Structure 1
Amino acid sequence: MKKLLFMEPVFKSMIWGGNKLESDFGYQIPNDHTGECWAISAHKNGDCTVKSGEYKGKTLSWLWENHRELFGYAEGEVFPLLIKIIDAKADLSIQVHPDDDYAAKNENHSLGKTECWYILDCDPDGEIVIGHNARNKEELKEMIDQKRWQELIRLQPIKKGDFFQIVPGTVHAIKKGTLILETQQSSDITYRLYDYDRLDNGKPRELHIDKSIDVINCPHKDVKVKGEVIKYATAEVEELIQCSFYTVQRVKVYGEQEFLQDKKFLNMSVINGSGELDGISIKKGDHLILPHGYGSYQINGNVEMIISYVS
């Protein structure tokens, strides 16, 4: 019997969050400052449970520990990926993430954080922070010490459908009015470089200046993304990124199309439309895992998805 593992998301309240996870995706959110939907996650800070079927109510981390065959006996102590939808009603802090080596040494053996963003929606004049203008570490330290933030950070205009790969050491921030789907390593390590002097419950949020300086890449280099598209009769598959941590694709189906699940496992997030997967209803806001050995599957409908897998 083929199993589809539908996930129950975990929601996070944030100082910068809004209500688009409810208005755009129909989720029941805890409040009007809900910033993140952890949609497919086995991280201890937000461990998703299975919605239905044989494993209903079991956490993804429990499945990883007890039924590794569902994931093709993939190696690793933890489920390797974390899929989020992020609603930024206000600007997020300017931040940076460490790589695996730095996180292992400095963050209690955590994974580092390579991540990527698919822009689901944004304001007409939307932009993000990605990169910086310091030529070397000395200039970086000087600009930070002197709080020359406008001179330091790089702003990038964005539009719906854009895609960005954020490697460790990249200065970045999602800005207000942006809704993204993020695929990342299963890590919750973030170093905050600057937070606009905001107060949270009357106090400034913690900054991590020394660790940020340690890990920021100098000078900044943009990551090129490929965007090769495979066209089928009633579908198209665009490869957004392939790196050592994940492959991420955007899949659009307009009709009936057969695909093959021949990976260790396949994460699937429905970002638009609705349809059926092997006769089971799928709609915008659904997140599921197709386990190892699933084989061929049929999608009917008018539906857009972001899928990811590990090699």
Structure 2
Amino acid sequence: MQNILFLEPVFKEMIWGGSRLKTDYGYDIPSDSTGECWAVSAHTNGDCKIKAGEYKGETLSSLWTNHRELFGNAEGEVFPLLIKIIDAKQDLSIQVHPNDAYAKEYENGSLGKTECWYILNCDEDGKIVIGHNANSKEELASMIQKNQWDDLIRVLPIKKGDFFQIVPGTVHAIKAGTVILETQQNSDITYRLYDYGRLQNGKPRELHIDKSIDVITCPQKLTEPLRKKKEIEVGEIEELVSCEFYTVEKIKINGSAELEQTEPFTIMSVIEGEGSVEGVEIKKGDHFILPAGFGHYTLKGNMECIASHI
């Protein structure tokens, strides 16, 4: 059996960032405006290192390049997934992501960005932006030019435990007071459509209006998540979404569960509680990968995890 790969997150300070990564998750970070935890990442803008064991100190991208057997010899130039925890003290920009074909042509061969959000926490009256109300590209461009943002964007109420699949071409934004776990393709391509006139270092942040209009789907059609539950002896496994890029599940246990890892690899993030995996203690805020061939394993405790695989 292969060793479990525990990862050291990479943290990003953002102008909209909050302090819950420190207060709620206990991460040792210097700034209360740290907004993003890149928990499982092999991206050049944030490459996680292995915490312990045979591969201690090596980056995830290095393991993907030199030890592909750990990942079932899965194909692809880069590790395919990126897991983040995002803590928004202020509203994020209204944005959109391209698909693989557009990113390959216009973003130096990058992957596109399909992503999904699990709401870890939010204010009592929490809201989120997903979708828009324009029926055509012409109407979209006109509403943007006239700054008709209240008419253009769709704002939905949210609560802890909600889940959303965000396909390329979908207008979206995380709003203030929200903490999410994001599972996404390994891409850092974001087109900002609107940023509330905010300044960074005394200047407005760059917008990408033309590219946004290029990639936004009109009219907007939202993707419904699966949310298909399967009871197990000490809890449940809920399949949240399954698409060509990833499958994401929520595992909830109170006791000892015997599970099996049959995929090329499985990423796991502990989002509530504590316990152990194969006798190794784990707690809220821990992130690890079960490599190829891991087989049967024991998950014990009172906790919730988000698991993903290709």
Q: Shorter-chain TM-score: what band?
A: over 0.9
Alignment partner, residue 95 of structure 1: 95
Alignment partner, residue 221 of structure 2: 221
Contact 1:13 1:30 in 2 (8 A): no
Alignment partner, residue 104 of structure 1: 104
- What SS is found at the alignment partner of 1:143? helix
Alignment partner, residue 158 of structure 2: 158
Cα distance in 2 for partners of 1:27, 1:131 equals 33
Corresponding letter in the other structure for 1:186: N
TM-score (norm 2): 0.99
Alignment partner, residue 167 of structure 1: 167
Cα distance in 2 for partners of 1:182, 1:228 equals 19
Contact 2:2 2:292 in 1 (8 A): no
Cα distance in 1 for partners of 2:30, 2:214 equals 36
- What SS is found at the alignment partner of 2:15? strand
- What SS is found at the alignment partner of 1:17? coil
State whether structure 2 residue 37 is matched by structure 1 residue 37: yes
Displacement of 1:225 in angstroms is 1.1
Displacement of 1:18 in angstroms is 1.0
Map 1:48-63 to 2 at 5 A. Answer: 48-63=48-63
State whether structure 2 residue 73 is matched by structure 1 residue 73: yes
Corresponding letter in the other structure for 1:71: F
- What SS is found at the alignment partner of 1:62? helix
Contact 1:11 1:30 in 2 (8 A): no
Alignment partner, residue 266 of structure 1: 266
Contact 2:87 2:180 in 1 (8 A): yes
- What SS is found at the alignment partner of 1:16? coil
Cα distance in 2 for partners of 1:306, 1:37 equals 15
CA RMSD of aligned residues (A): 0.6
State whether structure 2 residue 212 is matched by structure 1 residue 212: yes
Contact 2:88 2:179 in 1 (8 A): yes
Map 1:1-311 to 2 at 5 A. Answer: 1-310=1-310
Cα distance in 1 for partners of 2:282, 2:110 equals 34
Contact 1:40 1:48 in 2 (8 A): yes
Contact 2:8 2:49 in 1 (8 A): yes
Tell me, which stretches of 5 or more residues in structure 2 are unaligned?
none
Cα distance in 2 for partners of 1:286, 1:251 equals 14
Corresponding letter in the other structure for 1:123: D
Displacement of 1:239 in angstroms is 0.3
Give per-residue Cα distances to partners, 1:232-269, cap 9 Å, x unaligned: 11021000000000000000010011000000000000
Cα distance in 2 for partners of 1:133, 1:53 equals 51
TM-score (norm 1): 0.99
- What SS is found at the alignment partner of 1:253? strand
Corresponding letter in the other structure for 2:13: S
Give per-residue Cα distances to partners, 1:52-96, cap 9 Å, x unaligned: 000000000000000000000000000000000000000000000
- What SS is found at the alignment partner of 2:17? strand
> Size of the alignment, in residue pairs?
310
Contact 2:18 2:87 in 1 (8 A): yes
